[in-house]
Structure 1
Amino acid sequence: MAVELPDWGRLQKALSIEATRGFVNLMGKEYRFSEFLHASLSEPPQDKLMGAEIRRWQGLAAQFGRYGELSRESREQLVEETRKFLLDMERICTRSPSAAVTSPGPRGAPAPAASRSVAPRRAPRGAIAPDRGLTQVPGIGAKTGDRLAKLGLYTVADLLYYYPRDHIDYARQVNIAELEPGETVTAIGTVKRCNCFSSPRNSKLTIFELVLKDATGQIKISRFFPGYRSRSRGWQEMQKRAFPLGAVVAASGRVKKNKYGITLDNPQLEVLDGEGGAIESLNVGRVVPVYPLTEGVGADVVRKAVNAVLPAIAHLNDPLPGGLRKKYGLMELGEAIANIHFPRDRDILDAARQRLVFDEFFYLQLGLLHRRQSAKTNQKSVVLPRQGQLIEKFYSLLPFRLTGAQERVIGEILNDLEKPEPMNRLVQGDVGSGKTVVAVVAILAAIQAGYQAALMAPTEVLAEQHYQKLVNWLNLLHLPVELLTGSTKTSKRRQIHAQLETGELPVLVGTHALIQEKVTFHRLGLIAIDEQHRFGVGQRAKLRQKGVDGVPHVLSMTATPIPRTLALTLHGDLDVSQIDELPPGRQAIQTTVLGSKDRPDAYELIRRELAQGRQAYVVLPLVEESEKLDLKSAIEEYERLQESVFPYFQVGLLHGRLTSAQKEEAIGLFREGRTQILVSTTVVEVGVDVPNATVMLIENAERFGLSQLHQLRGRVGRGADRSYCLLMTHPKATAEARQRLNVMAQSQDGFLIAEMDMQLRGPGEVLGTRQSGLPDFALASLTQDQEVLVLARDAAGRAIAKDPTLERWPLLKVKLEQTLKRLMEGAILT
């Protein structure tokens, strides 16, 4: 009895989506990815295969049975081998039309991208299904399919969504006399002369020359062919016969000027039927797509393959509601995909790209807003009224007036705390803008309602800094505060644990130590997290679970200004407040970009400030991805400054190899003024608040991002004295790097600087590529497509407002689920 054949397309798509999402063994409705593959491969079609093929089939099934135990590298290798093996088996098993009996496979397997988002509809006869293997597509076949597999392209849907990385515009046709160097154009003329010959200077090079003429002039163009095959006289004659005298030829390329005059650089050529003849080539006279390639897979191979599968767009249903498409002037999905590959002109390409970029942003924003709405609807938290004596008394004890921005943000926070759903708010504020005071008001709201509060910081230095501030303020209100870090002694730790459990201790400040299992709160109602992006998703979740019913209010803070587009992308499910005003009396920090010749002047400024009783920082960049080299550089600079440059002053040293106690000692000596200069690497957070420090010298400043420089600059200017930030550049620093640093010299606005930093370096570099949490967009750019992101956010908000469950748009809901998994792999919705 013949075994039913598997659903080849479904298997390929399951393998494809598992690869796309990072080999995490995805969970479907009933089965995990590995269970689905194991079950689907359990019975090979023995009547179609040979013994070796059957054994290989069974071996793969067995490997998927223990997929969960494999390393990521082994999973990646297994998935890749299986995709190629199944392509070969599909060719063997489907040679006879009668053999094409399919089995749907186990229900509940993880449905890949195309299977649910590309819903089938009535398509013209002959249209290709998106789940079809590329080797089965007319015009592609087995040989080309194997080559496309090198790019990870196995199905029609893979190829449809393999967007070009760029386009070359040959659509503009010009007369020969109008050719201008630097333009990409198409010129059409008749052949006046054609020649093909071996180069007299290089026997391995063949030169092809063509002279084209139109009513306005003539042009000579050349192409060069290396290798022995082109040296054949027969091959050269064949080239000449392809372009006979009088033939009409379209030539597309970039115009350049050489010593012989105007020409086209390595042009694409097509012989037309005659004057006014249609251009059929995929490379001539049109906007030509440029795809990411790999060795052995040329541009023409991909272009011809994409052209062969374009009829499959007839199967695509557009998940975006028609009303939204109409409101935002968006192209239909199938039309957009066709025109991102082969647009008629630049205008239609721009419209196609806008639709597809809109989709990438829209589904991300829809997911973030959907999660936010779901949390507000389904989760309940404690209500913390704003009325109470503690907050009023705190206001009366403050030795300064709050800024308007602080009052606005406090109002937003207190409004959140009075609602039954949990607050999830991010407060952005420049260095020194007063975020801690805002957090204290939220903490007091929790305490006066009978709950506890916790403040978690990423380093012991910052935790100690917050602790000192809270002690100074809360002691005046007779409220105890404790600090818990990795350096806390065991006896003190036990005391803190006991007081937390009984509720005697209302406020705890600490580092990751707060999330340890032994730390148990009596009634934790509010969590404040400083520099929240420095903590992992799991770490933040563990602290939340310690709250009342696991749903406390959460106030996150960051001193790193984030451009609006990044905030929408990373924190679209949070409410965001900005403290965009510095306290009165804060002086602008004089920032200067210096070269090596200016170093004596920089040292003289530091001496002058130190002589007047003030202090200075010297910050060194990360030399390489090596802590040893970083440490060596810091120690050498410390010794040089102490012995040769500032022998009459005390120099301190701070670096990543010091123990916590040694770091605290170095910072303590500087804070107390017993060392006048602190040399620090960038391995540790320079989170030191020393109002007496007035100079920040940053070595090799071009190696830092603008946002990081702005953070470092904020460590001075915290007192009443005038302060200075000196950006010392390397002698080999480029003019572009110095121009970037000039942004720092011209602006004190952290949000403007963050925007400029993203424009100049890109969002991944601004955030740090290792834990940026940025989604992997296929087309969208956070720097180039900011306006589209804002539109997509608006559209997502309208959709959620109309139907928070998205039940009225089932295609949209399904597309949302799979797109979020592909874009973010769980990294964003935190």
Structure 2
Amino acid sequence: MAEVKKIENLDTIKKAIEVEIKHHYIDIAGKKCAFSKFIYDELRQIAKLDPNNPKWEYLYNNFERYAVADTSNRMKCIKQLIKHLQNPFSEEKLIETPKKAKTTSDKNPEDVDVMYVKGVGPKVGFLINKLGIFTAQDLLHYYPRKHLDYASRTQIKDLKVGQEATIFGVIKSTNVFTSKKRSNLTIISIQVYDGTGTISASWFYGKSNKFMMDRYKSQYPQGSNIILSGTVKLDSYSGKLVIDKPQSEILGGDFEEKDSLHVGRIVPVYPLTENLNIKTLRRAIHNAIETYSDGIEDFIPDYIREKLGLIDKITAIKQIHFPDSSETLQSARQRLVFDELFLVQLRLALMRKQYKSDTEGLVLNIKKDGLLEKFIQSLPFELTNAQKEAFNEILTDLSTPEPMQRLLQGDVGSGKTVIAAMALLAAVENGYQGAIMAPTEILAEQHCRNFTDWLTPLGISVGLFVGKHGTKVRRELYQNLKNGQINVAIGTHALIQESIEFNNLGLIVIDEQHRFGVRQRSELKNKGTNPEMLTMTATPIPRTLALTVHGDLDLTIINELPPGRKPIKTALIGPKDRKKAHTLIRKEIEKGHQAYIVFPLIEESETLSAKAATKEAEKLQNTVFPDLNIGLVHGKLPSSEKDKVMEEFRAGKYHILVSTTVIEVGVDVPNATIMVIENSERFGLSQLHQLRGRVGRSQEQSFCVLVGDTSSQETRERLEVMVQTNNGFIIAERDLQLRGPGEFVGTRQSGLPDLILADLIQDAEMLEIAREAAFNFVAKDDISKHPLLNKIMNQKIDEGLELIGAG
């Protein structure tokens, strides 16, 4: 009798998953270790019980990376874990009915283990599992990363530089050798002849021994038929044409082979794992389509699909894998991209609808000659048109009973704080209190200074709530807030302490909203009865990203600088020209101004960064600016010390502030007119733009000098964007194109949706179409009439958790 396998700590694992989901995937710390470490260790133990099953290795590798993954990938890890724990040793049950599973074409592909797809079997199935594919459904949705057009051959004699080409030929020679210039580089070079000419292609590997070199050579046997695809390039050494970064396939049979998945057509190229052949995977996917494609369900309502001219789901799946033409491939991709983006937008539209139906908003009306009008009249400057439009949008929200759901985006120095003050005054004018929560004490204090200057003359009381207050001051502030004597509370996380009570909280402003979690925002909201909430960010977010991450919110953008502000003059120089930057600093200081010199964080260690900045500050003080006062802030300084130095710099004690990238967004020192950013190539464009925004905060001309290693053309072109424009939204779009959405400021915390085919840059137009379709659907249709779509939307991450251990 076979030994029954049993997971020892199944209940504990289940409980840990429940706690992690409840706390929004923060990799919660347990008594002994973090959640991800606990699950990783448990999965290693389970893998020992079931050594021949690669799914455990796949899962524990995922949890090894969990601590550094973003929210959407953490959710995906947990979803897969739950799925596998429901039936942990499933092969024993499935093997009883392999024939039925193999031949039942009407079977739901979700219920078919991938090993029972024709042409797979246990051995190949285990390799395919390493790609995260466990069912026929997974296989159908394992989309190609690219396609090669083997339908159209190009003759070698007709090739032109820069052309994307596919060549069918015979390998005339294969050569494997170690580079003369770099001993750790192995090169394979082949010569291919097609009857009209010869061309070479090369592949590069790390240092190899003779055994490995012979193995590489055996992959390209002389006399074999080969298909080569890639870009035609002129080799600077030989002066001859070569195929750059070639994709290749060796063909066993003839080029004219009929009904082949691999030649004479547009063929799919998939990410692979070791020992898994591309042809084997192609054949498996083709067989899955042939057998199970009728089981693919289409969740997009027919009337939406027909209105937008999209093809049906089954055709889309077939054509994304094995397209009949480039046109059908494009149609398939459009349909599947729409599906992904529609689901993202539908979830946001439903969230928005539910929030509006579950939450009552306050109705705030503005009085003629009231506080708000007096405040606007008292300002020493005229509001820009963009500020007026932004406030009108906010005012429209506040005057209706529906709760406000708005994100106010403003470029650096565009005047968001004034808009926040006006919104808070609207609440005060209607008998409510207002609150603004900032991520750091220095920003909270800055807001407090501005608000006190603006609001005290109107008889409005402002209170500052930060962690460093003594007991006596704190007690007095708490009492004044509770009895309503404080009209506007400004603070950090200190505002959400249990002991803080408002008399009648009516409006909340969250500054730099991506720095706060959902829980922190809701804790502040719970201190009032349905207070309105306005979120703000000084980080320009490209529209496509904003619609994807913050799509449940209305977006208001201030993209106009106050009059009189001069654009910051930006220059890019190499390290050899650093003296020019120092000369410019001295000139500005002679005019009575101040300067920043910023160094990048060293990723491996904040301690190393602090040491490097300290060393550079000493060098600048001793050798470059011995007659000037230099202050220093870095990440290892305690908050109180950091704030003290910043205050002293603001007060003029230091001529120059040397800093790692801890200068806060929003820090306002109008007298600082020059910033030098060292090693600027290490920063993202959006980060450089935020740093540059610390100068140019007065009507004086300001300067930013980027000191960087510009030997790489790519780096130079990237940094030139900063020289060409001061517009944060243009810079943000370029940053998104260069770095992709996963690295973009603030999105890791918010959690980007898991997009497989869709690309937020390439598919910006389709995103707008999907958003309109989703929001129209929620406004005019009833999702309960569409069972499959309803099921997808109601699918919770913890669905199936109760089934773990139930069998």
Q: Can you list the C-alpha shifts for 1:678-715, whole angstroms capped at 9, x where unaligned?
A: 11111352542111111111111111122221122221
**2:590 maps to 1:587:** no
**Counterpart position of 2:729:** 751
Sequence identity percentage = 45
How far has the Cα of 1:754 moved from its partner? 1.2
**Counterpart position of 1:409:** 390
Output the amino acid matched with 1:313. S
1:322-337 mapped onto 2 (5 Å cutoff): 322-337=302-317
**2:788 maps to 1:811:** yes
**Residue 676 of structure 1: which of 655, 676, 694 is its match?**
655
Contact 2:317 2:332 (C-alpha < 8 Å) held by counterparts: yes
**Residue 501 of structure 2: which of 520, 524, 533 is its match?**
520
Output the amino acid matched with 1:334. I
**Residue 94 of structure 1: which of 94, 97, 104 is its match?**
97
**Counterpart position of 1:601:** 580
How far has the Cα of 1:183 moved from its partner? 5.4
How far has the Cα of 1:365 moved from its partner? 1.0
**CA shift in 2, pair 1:772/1:706, >3 Å:** farther
**CA shift in 2, pair 1:436/1:596, >3 Å:** same
Output the amino acid matched with 2:474. R
How far has the Cα of 1:436 moved from its partner? 0.9
Q: Secondary structure at the match of 1:313?
A: helix
1:236-635 mapped onto 2 (5 Å cutoff): 251=227, 253-254=229-230, 267-268=248-249, 270=251, 279-311=258-290, 312-387=292-367, 389-548=370-529, 551-635=530-614
Contact 1:180 1:255 (C-alpha < 8 Å) held by counterparts: no
Q: Can you list the C-alpha shifts for 1:602-657, whole angstroms capped at 9, x where unaligned?
A: 11111111112111111111122311001101111211122221111111111222
Contact 2:189 2:200 (C-alpha < 8 Å) held by counterparts: no
In 1: Cα distance, 2:572 partner to 2:212 partner: 58
Relative to structure 2, which stretch is displaced further, 746-755 or 263-272?
A: 263-272
Instruction: Report how many residues are paired.
Output: 721
Q: Secondary structure at the match of 1:352?
A: helix
Q: Secondary structure at the match of 1:526?
A: strand
How far has the Cα of 1:452 moved from its partner? 0.9
**2:122 maps to 1:145:** no
Contact 2:630 2:656 (C-alpha < 8 Å) held by counterparts: yes
In 2: Cα distance, 1:626 partner to 1:458 partner: 23
In 2: Cα distance, 1:221 partner to 1:711 partner: 48
**2:655 maps to 1:652:** no
Where in structure 2 are there 5+ consecutive unaligned residues?
1-13, 24-45, 57-62, 68-76, 179-186, 204-208, 800-807
How far has the Cα of 1:810 moved from its partner? 2.6
In 1: Cα distance, 2:140 partner to 2:446 partner: 54
1:69-218 mapped onto 2 (5 Å cutoff): 86-94=89-97, 129-174=109-154, 177-179=157-159, 217=196
**CA shift in 2, pair 1:606/1:798, >3 Å:** same
In 2: Cα distance, 1:344 partner to 1:819 partner: 38
How far has the Cα of 1:209 moved from its partner? 9.4
Q: Secondary structure at the match of 1:349?
A: helix
In 2: Cα distance, 1:515 partner to 1:200 partner: 66
How far has the Cα of 1:585 moved from its partner? 0.8
Q: Secondary structure at the match of 2:268?
A: strand
In 2: Cα distance, 1:513 partner to 1:300 partner: 60
How far has the Cα of 1:409 moved from its partner? 1.1
Q: Can you list the C-alpha shifts for 1:378-417, whole angstroms capped at 9, x where unaligned?
A: 3102211122511122122111111111111111111111
Q: Can you list the C-alpha shifts for 1:182-215, whole angstroms capped at 9, x where unaligned?
A: 75656679x9xx99999999xxx999999765xx
**Counterpart position of 2:34:** none
How far has the Cα of 1:79 moved from its partner? 6.4
In 1: Cα distance, 2:248 partner to 2:97 partner: 42
Contact 1:363 1:819 (C-alpha < 8 Å) held by counterparts: no
**Residue 716 of structure 2: which of 738, 748, 758 is its match?**
738
Contact 1:526 1:554 (C-alpha < 8 Å) held by counterparts: yes
**CA shift in 2, pair 1:576/1:136, >3 Å:** same
In 2: Cα distance, 1:392 partner to 1:222 partner: 73
In 2: Cα distance, 1:394 partner to 1:446 partner: 14
In 2: Cα distance, 1:452 partner to 1:376 partner: 22
Q: Secondary structure at the match of 1:767?
A: coil
**CA shift in 2, pair 1:591/1:25, >3 Å:** closer
In 1: Cα distance, 2:671 partner to 2:659 partner: 17
**CA shift in 2, pair 1:223/1:272, >3 Å:** farther
In 2: Cα distance, 1:362 partner to 1:137 partner: 30
Output the amino acid matched with 2:395. L
Contact 2:226 2:248 (C-alpha < 8 Å) held by counterparts: no
In 1: Cα distance, 2:152 partner to 2:762 partner: 25
Q: Secondary structure at the match of 1:288?
A: strand
How far has the Cα of 1:90 moved from its partner? 3.0
Output the amino acid matched with 1:89. E
Q: Can you list the C-alpha shifts for 1:515-560, whole angstroms capped at 9, x where unaligned?
A: 1111111211100011101111211121111121xx2111111111
How far has the Cα of 1:317 moved from its partner? 2.2
Q: Can you list the C-alpha shifts for 1:7-31, whole angstroms capped at 9, x where unaligned?
A: xxxxxxxxxxx9xx9996799xxxx
**Residue 774 of structure 2: which of 777, 791, 796 is its match?**
796
In 1: Cα distance, 2:703 partner to 2:190 partner: 64
**CA shift in 2, pair 1:672/1:173, >3 Å:** same
**Counterpart position of 1:711:** 690
Q: Secondary structure at the match of 1:93?
A: coil
Relative to structure 2, which stretch is displaced further, 340-349 or 743-752?
A: 340-349
In 1: Cα distance, 2:151 partner to 2:797 partner: 36
Contact 2:156 2:199 (C-alpha < 8 Å) held by counterparts: no
**Counterpart position of 2:621:** 642
In 1: Cα distance, 2:797 partner to 2:758 partner: 15
How far has the Cα of 1:220 moved from its partner? 9.1
In 2: Cα distance, 1:403 partner to 1:653 partner: 36
Q: Secondary structure at the match of 1:382?
A: coil
Q: Can you list the C-alpha shifts for 1:710-761, whole angstroms capped at 9, x where unaligned?
A: 122221122222111111113x652221221111111111111111111222
Contact 2:676 2:706 (C-alpha < 8 Å) held by counterparts: yes
Contact 2:566 2:701 (C-alpha < 8 Å) held by counterparts: yes
Structure of greater relative contact order (alpha carbons < 8 Å, 6+ residues apart): 2
The TM-score, its normalising length taken from structure 2, stands at 0.80
Where in structure 1 are there 5+ consecutive unaligned residues?
1-17, 28-52, 64-69, 101-122, 244-248, 823-830
Contact 1:124 1:314 (C-alpha < 8 Å) held by counterparts: no
**Residue 751 of structure 2: which of 773, 776, 779 is its match?**
773
Q: Secondary structure at the match of 1:678?
A: strand
Q: Secondary structure at the match of 1:533?
A: helix
The TM-score, its normalising length taken from structure 1, stands at 0.78
**Counterpart position of 2:183:** none
Contact 2:342 2:774 (C-alpha < 8 Å) held by counterparts: yes
In 2: Cα distance, 1:196 partner to 1:583 partner: 68
Relative to structure 2, which stretch is displaced further, 767-776 or 82-91?
A: 82-91
- Which structure would you say has the larger Rg? 1
Contact 1:171 1:345 (C-alpha < 8 Å) held by counterparts: no
Contact 1:747 1:753 (C-alpha < 8 Å) held by counterparts: yes
